[in-house]
Amino acid sequence: MWTTTSRNPADDQAEQLGSGATGPNIMGVMIESNLNEGKQSVPPEGPSGLKYGVSVTDGCISLEQTLPLLDNLRQGVQKRREAVKAKRLAGQKVASDV
């Protein structure tokens, strides 16, 4: 789990998307997100004791963490698209052309 004060885990992926070396190799990311951060077990009293918006399967990031993470990834994708466009305009082949 990450906090809003630690480095966003998508920062590395966004940087890689925008780089020429590894960007073309990234096809997607998996983000486990819920309304609220964390994971919970079903309490002894059963489902009635569960906290609303918290996963019971896997640890998740919150909606507040998800929105900037997605925006960061969007910026990385935009950089990759710009790099691919520049290469094509320069007459270079890109990975998707092979």
Give me the pLDDT at residue 71, please: 93
Residue 3 has pLDDT above 70, yes or no: no
**pLDDT tier at 37, thresholds 50, 70, 90:** very high
Q: What is the DSSP letter of 16?
A: H
Residue 87 has pLDDT above 60, yes or no: yes
pTM, two decimals, is 0.74
Give me the pLDDT at residue 6, please: 63
Environment class of 96 (CB within 10 Å of its CB; exposed 0-12, middle 13-18, buried 19+): exposed
Q: Which of 25-29, 44-48, 75-79, 83-87 has the highest mean pLDDT?
A: 44-48
